Structure 1
Amino acid sequence: MTSILKTACFGLALGFAASAAQAEEIKLGIAAEPYPPFTYPDASGKWQGWEIDFANAVCEEAGLDCVITPLSWDGIIPALKSEKIDMIVGSMSITPERLEEIDFSDKYYNTPTIVIGLKELDFDASPEGLSDKILGVQSSTVHQVYANKHFASGGTSIKEYQTQDEANNDLASGRLDAVQADAIALKAFLETEAGQACCEEKGQVADDIEVLGPGVGIGLRKEDTELKEKLNAAIATIRENGTYDAFSEKYFDFDPYGS
């Protein structure tokens, strides 16, 4: 796959294919683990989702030939630092801990963190509400860090999963009481047949900017300042010219950019 993210996403201008050959080639890392509605493979294996549409738009605007490169999530930062990829578009929150290792573009979305749980259980998304519950989180994410910091000491049993889908499936099967993740991802699950049958939103977790960060950005190597400038300019442009809103409306009835 050598052209700009050949996934069924945001429509590219017909003339762009000709100019892509002269564009700078960039290996764009995404998590190999599906994370709908942000990134997930279709039946033929092509990657699609809101973040793929976002990446298409940004790469086109910045004049970059972006080659999608799926990698295991827990190894994606080492892959960036060792130059196996050149940037990360993977719902990666900008946090102080990560900023010690890598840099980020400006944010491109920021949505709340929520907890969903079994309908038959009455609790909220507080340490007290989760004190005797089994909470599922995806490993190597800010949600894992948050749950261990705020809930584990209060009696919550934290269970880690390689993918969000695995956590959601265990919740639907009754092997968990609750799951914590990004609001968009979990609300998408609640709209599925399994999600509607089993579960409901229990509430938004209390903010912790040191863990959850101010939003999601494109992960970059610290030395790649020129690439960062191109990406920041592209993000600003697609926000201003309506492109961001156009592809977002296919997935959401609200602006995922956040406050």
Structure 2
Amino acid sequence: MKYDIKGMGRRGFMAMTAVAAAATMLAAAVPARAATVEEIKSKGTITFGIVTDQPPFSFINASGKNEGYDIDLSQMMAKELGVEAAYVPITSANRIPQLVTGKVDMLICVLGIYPDRAKVIQYVAPYAAISASIYGPKGVTKIEELSGHSIAVEKGSSMDKSVTAAAPKDADIRRYDDASSAVQALLSGQVEYLGSYSHQFLGVEKAAPGKFVPNIVLKTEYLGIAVAPQSKELGEWAGEFMARHEKDGTLSEIYKKAFGTEFPEVPASMEGIPFTKK
């Protein structure tokens, strides 16, 4: 479903972003019971917030089941805890409120690592790296060449912020409710370009081989696992889990299964962003 704010203008969009940020901060202020390892073991379930439309991270397969790297990783965690994994589909707009209000115990959901988010959630560790680019027909190689052109992005995502900040003021940035809708907008010809990530472009290339290319690479982005700030014990457990399985090669095995490459080199620390992984 398309969310079109073309008539709102850049100032209006920034105001809307500020309101959304304030809502996230308000959600963070709502007290929620900490998710402890003992509590999770007692109830027999750990609940993960996941995406369902971003292969190979997480998607619904032909049998209607969750599949992907995020699912394999969460299943590993649940198995070590001796519990079942439960899943709650989330969006860019509601993932942090779902976490800080206790609707989910942990986020493994293609979540970019940023200092502003670290103020309201607790990152465990980076678990993947992706490149953020603007994709479209061959020819354009500079951001200023997108003047007057339409670009699809997922509303409220880090890609939305990156494209809004980088694109010319007269670029027609069209915001969609989810990543799949933004991709379909490009494939169907509703827009000329797509602001997206390397893993999402795999689906574009499969649907239209050779038709689109990464015109402009904006940045490399690290993705993180997160828990609520009050769930300190769970965060520390997850940090130890990640450190142990990065060392023994298990993370690389499941990463290679999903992406065809070894587990990437990820930073042990990032300025202004504490991790529970030591």
Is TM more than 0.5 here? yes
Aligned residue for 2:100? 81
Q: How does 1:1-259 map to 2 (within 5 A)?
A: 25-31=45-51, 33-61=52-80, 63=82, 65-119=84-138, 122-124=139-141, 126-153=142-169, 155-186=170-201, 188-192=202-206, 194-196=207-209, 198-206=211-219, 215-259=222-266
Q: Report which stretch shifted further, 234-243 or 245-254.
A: 245-254
Q: Deviations over 1:163-205 (max 9, x none)?
A: 222111111122211112221221x12431x231531221311
- Write the letter of the residue equivalent to 2:47: K
The DSSP-based 3-state class of the residue aligned with 2:78 is helix
How many residues are treated as equivalent by the alignment?
A: 227
Q: 1:158 to 1:98 in 2, by over 3 A?
A: same
Q: 1:191 to 1:54 in 2, by over 3 A?
A: farther
- Write the letter of the residue equivalent to 1:30: I
- Write the letter of the residue equivalent to 2:211: C
- Write the letter of the residue equivalent to 1:60: K
The DSSP-based 3-state class of the residue aligned with 2:244 is helix
RMSD in angstroms over aligned alpha carbons?
2.3
- Write the letter of the residue equivalent to 2:193: A
Deviation at 1:152, TM superposition (A): 4.8
* Aligned-pair identity (%): 22
- Write the letter of the residue equivalent to 1:69: V
Q: State how far apart, in whole Å, the 2-side matches of 1:191 and 1:150 are.
A: 24
TM-score, normalised by the number of residues in structure 1:
0.79
Question: Gaps (5+ residues) in structure 2?
Answer: 1-39, 267-278
Contact 1:62 1:230 in 2 (8 A): no
The DSSP-based 3-state class of the residue aligned with 1:45 is coil
Deviation at 1:258, TM superposition (A): 3.6
Q: State how far apart, in whole Å, the 1-side matches of 2:47 and 2:126 are.
A: 20
Deviation at 1:71, TM superposition (A): 3.0
Deviation at 1:219, TM superposition (A): 2.0
Contact 1:152 1:158 in 2 (8 A): no
Q: State how far apart, in whole Å, the 1-side matches of 2:205 and 2:95 are.
A: 29
Q: 1:74 to 1:206 in 2, by over 3 A?
A: closer
Q: State how far apart, in whole Å, the 2-side matches of 1:159 and 1:62 are.
A: 43
Q: State how far apart, in whole Å, the 2-side matches of 1:69 and 1:78 are.
A: 13
TM-score, normalised by the number of residues in structure 2:
0.74
Q: State how far apart, in whole Å, the 2-side matches of 1:225 and 1:64 are.
A: 19
Q: State how far apart, in whole Å, the 2-side matches of 1:118 and 1:189 are.
A: 16
Contact 2:133 2:219 in 1 (8 A): no
Q: State how far apart, in whole Å, the 2-side matches of 1:116 and 1:189 are.
A: 12
- Write the letter of the residue equivalent to 1:26: I
The DSSP-based 3-state class of the residue aligned with 2:146 is coil
